[in-house]
Chains A and B, each alone.
Chain A
Amino acid sequence: MASLAGSSISMQPRHALVTSRVSGLKLVSFMNQGRSSLSFGLRSMPARLRISCAAKPETVDKVCEIVRKQLAVPSDKPVTGDSKFADLGADSLDTVEIVMGLEEEFGITVEEDNAENIATVLDAAELIDKLCSEKSS
């Protein structure tokens, strides 16, 4: 996992990663048809897209759980990697609470400029994995 995370960090500046991730995400959800587990999709995806999906499935699942709890999402509504916080009804206080919940769960500190770029569950999961790997290195 470390090499995958490493390749996503060294690849491109953050905003370019966002751009490629947007197109990557659309394809991910099309191919996986809403499955939240990313590891399945990685095997069948071309190398270009593999760079964008750097978050561990267990991180994504944990983030989904925290988001679902904070926003009181009804159990019949799916929360997946490409779920946007705003589309689930998060306002700014919710988003800050989610970030705080993630900090406590994963033992990390999220600076404001990183927090501001979190729009989806996957954004949060990727940032968490990045901060966790920086912490342990």
Chain B
Amino acid sequence: MNIRCFQRNFSAALPPLVPLQLPSPMETHLWYVLPDEVKSWGLLNQYSELLSPCEREGVNRMRGDQLKKRALLARALVRTTIARYQTNSQMNPRSLKFRKNLYGKPEVEWRDEDNFSPLPLQFNLSHTSTMIACGVTVNVPIGIDIEEKQRRTKNNLIAFAQRYFSAYEVKVLTTISDPEVQRQEFIKLWTLKEAYVKALGKGFSAVPFKTFTIRFRETTLRNFHPPGSSVSEASDIIVESFDDPTNPTNNWQFTLLEVAGSHYGAICIKKDRTAGANELMKLTVWKTVPFVEDVCVSGTDAVVDLGRIIEQ
């Protein structure tokens, strides 16, 4: 599949993109595509028309049709998603320019000569062979990572953790006796650590995995609702950094999800300083096929919050 040589015989132009409301402060939007649901070659070819020549070259360099499709969908998802948040006029997803920051983190490059006004959006992408996800916030650094629940490491899991994770995290993993549960907790921890490093946006050499611990912390919430107050036990996900005191780690909020029954997903965003201590990240999740359909899956069993266990 070389998309440049693909025969063009689509009968109709792409429909206009359905506009989106920007996320509110402390709100995250998560969009995901399931490649197996995008079967139309005509549609894939139309997606390829949205890409820059450089992106198209990147897609064609991927070895194998499935990898090419995945790379194509990732670019199409990020371009169409960001273009839809434009409030004033129709933003052509093809016109968006992307660049990498000093450390290689992708970002939108807004230029004065474009016909649309810059959006205060931040985004981050992640993909596996069966899902591509894009997280979006307003003005808040974000990192996301998804992994298939069934993912197995080629190396011994504990040996891997001893090499790359912190001592506390190794201890937590080693005390899990069921190998399957241990594997699942390993994958969850990996996605959380990846999401944190991606949110920081300085590359993983700036924040080696061994230099921080991510763990669950028990907290207590007091609810003052009539007829009397009640106390809930909750689990927060927190990060403790060993050697960067200039970056207070209670600045970062994590969400851990099970998505579409098949993936673990971690989202890390920088907390707004004006937000209350227990103010949660509001999250809305959509399953999408660009130009075709959006399905809001928040509140369904396609999105399960694994990170905050509330017991009363």
Contact = CB atoms under 8 A, between A and B. Distances in A.
A134 interface: no
B238 interface: no
Nearest to B60: A87
B31 interface: no
B67 A97 contact: no
B127 to A, nearest CB: 8
A89 B70 CA distance: 10
Given A93-B151, A97-B154, A115 B190 contact: no
A57 interface: no
B245 interface: no
A1 B5 CA distance: 45
A100 B160 contact: yes
A132 B127 CA distance: 34
A77 interface: yes
Interface residues of B, number: 24
Contacts of A84: 61
Given A93-B153, A101-B154, A112-B204, A77 B64 contact: yes
Interface in A49-79: 69-70, 73-74, 77
B67 A89 contact: yes
Interface string B220-231: 000000000000
- Chain A residues touching B, majority SS: helix
- Chain B residues touching A, majority SS: loop
Nearest to A79: B63
Nearest to B62: A87
B203 A116 contact: yes
Interface in B49-96: 61-64, 67
Interface in A31-49: none
A88 interface: yes
Contact of A96 (B129, B145, B151, B164): B164
B258 interface: no
6 contacts: A88-B67, A89-B64, A89-B67, A93-B194, A96-B160, A101-B154
Interface of B: 61-64, 67, 127-129, 145, 147, 151, 153-155, 159-160, 163-164, 190, 194, 203-205, 208
Interface of A: 69-70, 73-74, 77, 83-84, 87-89, 91-93, 96-97, 100-101, 103, 111-113, 115-116
Given A89-B62, A92-B145, A112-B205, 18 more contacts: A69-B154, A73-B63, A77-B63, A83-B63, A87-B61, A87-B62, A87-B63, A87-B67, A88-B63, A89-B63, A89-B67, A89-B129, A97-B154, A100-B159, A100-B160, A100-B163, A112-B204, A115-B205
